[in-house]
Amino acid sequence: MAFNKISGQVVLPPVLPISLPAGEVFMLPAGQGQIGGFGAVSPPQFATNNPLTGQYILQLGLLTVLQVFDQALDTWRNVNVSPYALVTVSSDGTNYRIANTTGSPVGAVITALGSGGIDGFYGYAAQGAAVTIQNGVTTLGNTIFTVATTGGALWNAIVGGGVSGTIALTGTAYANLPGWYVSGSPSFTAIGGANYTKPPIIVFTPPPNQGAQPYILPTATCTVSAGVINAVTVVSTGAGLLGLPGITVVPQPGDTTGGGALLGWSSGNGVEQNAGKCLWMAPQFPGTAQTTVPSFTYGGTSNPGPTATVIMNFTVTSFSTGTAGVGYTNAYGVWQGGITAGTDATGNTLAFMGKNAALPVWPPTAFAATTALPSLLTSFGGVNIQAVPTLALGTQLAAGTVTTVAVPTINVGGASDTILLFSL
């Protein structure tokens, strides 16, 4: 957390406006403090006599987002997407970045997992070096499973390492094993607890041997009957795990009586699921802005060959004239589509993406009263539009008065944005 200076005797550096074209990222710099102090680096950072502290107030633009590096998954996550939000940040030069992902991929919906791959993480480190991580061992370079799209986006992927969709509520159970179930693994007796007044929270912890292997933990919810946990629903099965996750049951706030539940994995569901299959993909770096949804190209010596659709972050850049309508009166339009279609086969897309693939925010749009051709009311073309949208056009008069239907062309892509950096 960054803190403002309160003495009033220190002259702060000027506010730094930083413009980011579509598809670019900016690492928040570390400070130029005294050697041995927080964020100390060798000056200059930007230029001579331009001291930066590593402690900032950041004001986002309309389109930029603040991202934090998730060390568990070796990728970047959105932590603030609010337009013009003021955010306090303590930067060590590697933990936060600003991203303008408009016109670029922000995720993928994997509709078929493929098969035959080698379990592991394949992609890029925080600074862009290609890496392969298998069984917790990191090596530079990646020739095993590569993911690419037009525009030069750099993609990360995880193959294998999912868990079963079933959790043991009674009987012999296993938990938090450094590896998958084998005969003779330490066990305990699972019980559903007692006196719960609300369904408790199910929390998973990484296997003891996870180490540097990037992973996604599973998620689950439960129900109770007569104060006892009677069912657990696994929402997402995770990816990249090297063993059985631990399971902890936490009473909900306000439940002062519930407790005692011990849940685990049975020998039947304590084995790795989806080995050799692609369970997650996400872009590490956005690449240059695109005007259409790109397709995936896979390569490498052990390519599981998944089927997936790119999730984009488009903004509307303009409207082409298209076909003018005839017979409209006080025409209006309704945005349609703009969401990536497809059923996620991994169970991990929503669990990971969060606000990285947010729902569309549509631009304010005007329509010519008689031709129904649209135009942008402001320079803001919307954001988080996942696929090329359409406009449903209408008129206030009764049906049948329109003799020529308007057909506008919607142009999408990316747009530049500016942030303000206050060094404290």
Q: Are 243 and 180 in contact (CB under 8 A)?
A: yes
Q: Do 30 and 84 share a domain, yes or no?
A: yes
Q: What is the DSSP string of 20-81?
A: E-TT-EEEPPPP--STTSTT--PSPSSSTT----SEEEEE--SS-EEEEEETTTTEEEEEE-
Same domain, 84 and 52: yes
Lowest mean pLDDT among 36-50, 118-132, 329-343: 36-50
| 230 and 284 belong to one structural domain | no
Do 221 and 292 share a structural domain?
Answer: no
Cβ proximity of 222 and 82 under 8 Å = no
The mean of the pLDDT values for the chain is 88
Q: Evaluate whether residue 7 is within a structural domain.
A: no
Half-sphere exposure of 8 (CA within 13 A, CB side): 0
For residues 64-90, average pLDDT: 90
CA distances for 135 relative to 121, 126, 244, 270, 396, angstroms: 9, 19, 14, 18, 63
Measure the CA–CA gap between 271 and 251, rounded to whole angstroms: 28
Alpha-carbon distances, residue 56 vs 4, 31, 34, 90, 160 (angstroms): 9, 10, 17, 7, 39
Q: Can you give the pLDDT at residue 10?
A: 52
Separation of alpha carbons 128 and 285, rounded Å: 8
> Do 249 and 227 fall within a single domain?
yes
Please indicate, yes or no, whether residues 280 and 141 belong to a single structural domain of this protein.
yes
Kindly report the number of other CB atoms within 10 A of residue 226's CB atom.
Answer: 9
pLDDT in tens, 198-254: 999 999 999 999 999 999 999 999 999 999 999 999 988 999 999 999 999 999 999
Q: Quote the CA–CA distance of 221 and 223 in Å, as a whole number.
A: 7
Are 284 and 321 in the same domain? no
Work out whether the CA dihedral 134, 137, 138, 141 comes out positive or negative.
Answer: negative
Residue 98 shares a structural domain with residue 111: no
**Locate tokens 């408790």: which residue?**
200
For residue 1, pLDDT beyond 50 = no
In a domain, 6, yes or no: no
Report yes or no on 53 lying in a domain. yes
Residues 148 and 202 in one domain: no
Residues 6+ apart with CB under 8 A from 328: 368, 369, 370, 371, 372, 393, 395, 402, 406
Is residue 23 in some structural domain? Answer: yes
Residue 2 belongs to some domain of the structure:
no
Give a yes or no: residue 10 inside a domain: no
- The number of folded domains in the chain is 4
Residue 226 lies in a domain: yes
> 260 phi and psi, to 5 degrees?
90, 0
Domain edge (last residue) among 198, 229, 262: 262
Q: How far apart are CA 369 and CA 354, in angstroms?
A: 39
User: What band does 62 get if pLDDT is binned at 50, 70 and 90?
Assistant: very high
Q: Distance between CA 322 and CA 156 in Å, rounded?
A: 39
pLDDT of residue 2: 42
49 with 187, same domain: the answer is no
The structure tokens listed for 248 are 């902890």
Run of H or E residues at 352? helix 349-353
What is d(CA 45, CA 205) in angstroms, rounded to the nearest whole number? 39
pLDDT of residue 39: 41
Q: Residue 44's pLDDT band (boundaries 50, 70, 90)? A: very low
Q: What is the mean pLDDT of residues 17-22?
A: 94
**Residue with tokens 């799209």, as numbered in its chain:** 149
Q: How far is CA 159 from CA 118, 237, 264, 270, 274, in A?
A: 7, 13, 24, 18, 8
Q: What is the pTM of this model?
A: 0.89
* DSSP conformational letter for 356: G
What letter does residue 398 receive in the DSSP assignment? P
- CA 345 centroid distance within chain: 17
Query: What range defines the domain where residue 111 resides?
Result: 104-161+276-309
156 shares its domain with 294: yes
Which helix (H) or strand (E) segment holds residue 69: the answer is strand 65-70
Q: Tell me if 269 is assigned to some domain.
A: no
Question: Do strands 315-323 and 332-336 pair parallel, antiparallel, or not at all (unpaired)?
Answer: unpaired
Report whether pLDDT(82) > 60. Answer: yes
Over residues 315-336, the pLDDT tens digits come to 999 998 789 999 999 999 999 9
Let me know whether 304 and 330 are in one domain. Answer: no
